[in-house]
Amino acid sequence: MTTPTFPHDFLWGAATSAFQIEGSRTADGAGESVWDVFGRQPGAVEGGGDGSLACDSYRRWPEDVAILEELGLRAYRFSIGWSRVMPDGHRVNEAALDHYERIVDALVEAGIDPVVTLNHWDMPQALMADRGWIGRSTVDAFVAYAQAVAHRLGDRVQHWITQNEPWIIQLLGYQLGLHAPGIVDLAGSVVAGHHVLLGHGRAADAIKQVVPGAQVGVALSLFPCEPATGSEADREAAWASDGYVNRWYLDPLHGRGYPKDTRELWDGILLREGADFTLDDVILPGDEEQIGGRTDFVGVNYYTRRVCAAAPVTAERPFPWAVVGPTGDVPRTDEGWEVRPESFDALLRRLHDDYGAPRIMITENGGVYGDAPTHDGKVHDNRRIEYLRSHLRAVLSAREAGVDVFGYMQWSLLDNFEWALGYRPRFGIVHVDYPTGRRTPKDSALFYAQVVRSGVVPDEDPAHLPFG
């Protein structure tokens, strides 16, 4: 039996996002983003951290590019600061585009494919005048922004990601208020989610008008929803939860319109909430056509699964399921998330089987492990090596089964600002000493570089091997 390997042209990369790494919040005429404002609310961010310095990448980006080069990576997924490019939501700030153009040029020069995300959550605060994504006018503002970036960078950028994690924007930003803009509005959240998807479809068209050969995708946070038991009720609960988290985005993107069961669920919720609108007032004729069929690749952000059980709807729980697990002694990251590569493999196969064999880029995958530099100055993050190894094996297994995964962007290149959790969780394969900005590639980075070089992923835990 031959060992499965990745092909030579596999797109190996690592990912970051603007607000999480850049700092320099007002440089070059940048406008305020919703995260600047949200982060100032007492208690919004653990430890009181904000984005003012982060990894200082707005100034130190040449070091980041050099690290990518040293590791032999062939792609860098990073995001453009929306509020830098459109400080008041509408006017283009050329100085910000100059900045990103310099990064793109350096990447291309180094033979690294820039994978550009347009909205990684840092929308201009000015767009809150129409309630952010709840307002339909934000879709127009987003399209104008996408056009401006495509005009400037389109001749050098092939891979575009319009939106990062529509469900997380909807859930944490507009339903629970745990992320910027901090809105708690269950009924409004479904409106926001629809506008995020519409923004994807319309921005994809706009990018392709400017750059006919562009490959445009959207990065979805996909969580396999698995039933807690074999009971019919739990299976139904898991399917309903899958509708809320996964199918609500996947179906319309693949030209099927919103799934009927989840649409009914939302209409019931709007009624119970006393909303003065139904989904028919929000999803206007033609919208689903503008969302569907524009995705050249599906971006998959995978971290873990959800284990669901049937549960009664209550005032606190508007949905007929509860996320109950996993429980017990399962492997977990330092953030408590279950390490579950087999669900990753199953997810990729499911996308292939249920959605017409789409092209897939893994746009995020990684784990929180808090290992710090030891006396030898190195970071021996063996558990992250094992996380990476097992998830890359899952990708290989799915590819062997015919799933068209063409790239993998590890999350994250750098330890960085983890949103409401501040700087405590460390996702990076490169350690960042925040007070000095010093970057130290961890053992996992060296392991990853070896996989990238060889295309081979060891079939057992190599944690005992010396990567440091």
Quick one: which of 170, 290, 295, 301 contacts ligand IFM (CB under 6 A)?
301
What distances in angstroms separate CA 344 from CA 67, 84, 389, one per listed residue? 28, 35, 13
Tell me, yes or no, if 364 is annotated catalytic: yes
Residue whose entry in the numeric block shows the structure tokens 């000095």: 436
What does the radius of gyration of the chain's CA atoms come to, in whole angstroms?
21
Task: State which residue, 12 or 167, has the beta carbon closest to ligand IFM.
Answer: 167
Rounded to a whole number of angstroms, the minimum distance from the CB of residue 197 to ligand IFM is 17
Task: State which residue, 6 or 417, has the beta carbon closest to ligand IFM.
Answer: 417
Identify whether the C-beta of residue 62 lies closer than 8 Å to the C-beta of residue 112: no
Q: Does 288 bind ligand IFM (CB under 6 A)?
A: no
Quick one: which of 36, 50, 122, 418 contacts ligand IFM (CB under 6 A)?
418
**By CB under 6 A, what part of segment 93-122 binds ligand IFM?**
none
**By CB under 6 A, what part of segment 398-417 binds ligand IFM?**
411
Return the C-alpha torsion angle 310, 315, 317, 320, nearest 10: 30
Quick one: which of 6, 17, 106, 152 contacts ligand IFM (CB under 6 A)?
17
User: In sequence order, what DSSP letters do the residues of 99-149 get, joined into one string?
Assistant: HHHHHHHHHHHTT-EEEEEEESS--BGGGGGGTGGGSTHHHHHHHHHHHHH
- The pairing of strands 225-227 and 297-302 is unpaired
Identify whether the C-beta of residue 295 lies closer than 8 Å to the C-beta of residue 256: no
Number of amino acids touching ligand IFM (CB under 6 A): 8
Task: State which residue, 197 or 228, has the beta carbon closest to ligand IFM.
Answer: 197
Rounded to a whole number of angstroms, the minimum distance from the CB of residue 454 to ligand IFM is 28
Nearest Cα to 381, choosing from 344, 410, 347, 348?
Answer: 410
- The helix (H) or strand (E) run that includes residue 61 is helix 57-71
Identify whether the C-beta of residue 87 lies closer than 8 Å to the C-beta of residue 29: yes
- Cross-strand partners of 163: 119
- Of the candidates 22, 32, 165, 386, the residue annotated as catalytic is 165
Q: Which residues contact 282 (CB under 8 A, 6 or more apart)?
A: 190, 191, 194
Q: Does 165 bind ligand IFM (CB under 6 A)?
A: yes
Task: State which residue, 352 or 426, has the beta carbon closest to ligand IFM.
Answer: 426
Q: Which residues contact 286 (CB under 8 A, 6 or more apart)?
A: none
No. of helices (H) and no. of strands (E), the chain = 16, 13
Task: State which residue, 93 or 119, has the beta carbon closest to ligand IFM.
Answer: 119
Identify whether the C-beta of residue 78 lies closer than 8 Å to the C-beta of residue 458: no
Distance, CA of 110 to CA of 113 (rounded, Å): 9
Rounded to a whole number of angstroms, the minimum distance from the CB of residue 421 to ligand IFM is 8
Quick one: which of 50, 234, 242, 364 contacts ligand IFM (CB under 6 A)?
364
Tell me, yes or no, if 232 is annotated catalytic: no
Rounded to a whole number of angstroms, the minimum distance from the CB of residue 409 to ligand IFM is 11
Task: State which residue, 251 or 364, has the beta carbon closest to ligand IFM.
Answer: 364
**By CB under 6 A, what part of segment 24-83 binds ligand IFM?**
none
Task: State which residue, 237 or 348, has the beta carbon closest to ligand IFM.
Answer: 348
Task: State which residue, 20 or 397, has the beta carbon closest to ligand IFM.
Answer: 20
Rounded to a whole number of angstroms, the minimum distance from the CB of residue 120 to ligand IFM is 6
For 276, other C-beta atoms within 10 Å of its C-beta total 8
Token pair listed for 76: 């860098």
Q: Does 246 bind ligand IFM (CB under 6 A)?
A: no
- The helix (H) or strand (E) run that includes residue 276 is none
Rounded to a whole number of angstroms, the minimum distance from the CB of residue 54 to ligand IFM is 12
- Of the candidates 22, 226, 288, 364, the residue annotated as catalytic is 364
Rounded to a whole number of angstroms, the minimum distance from the CB of residue 166 to ligand IFM is 12
Nearest Cα to 461, choosing from 369, 397, 385, 392?
Answer: 385
Rounded to a whole number of angstroms, the minimum distance from the CB of residue 237 to ligand IFM is 25
Q: Give the interface with ligand IFM as residue ranges (CB under 6 A).
A: 17, 20, 165, 301, 364, 411, 418, 427
Catalytic amino acids?
165, 364
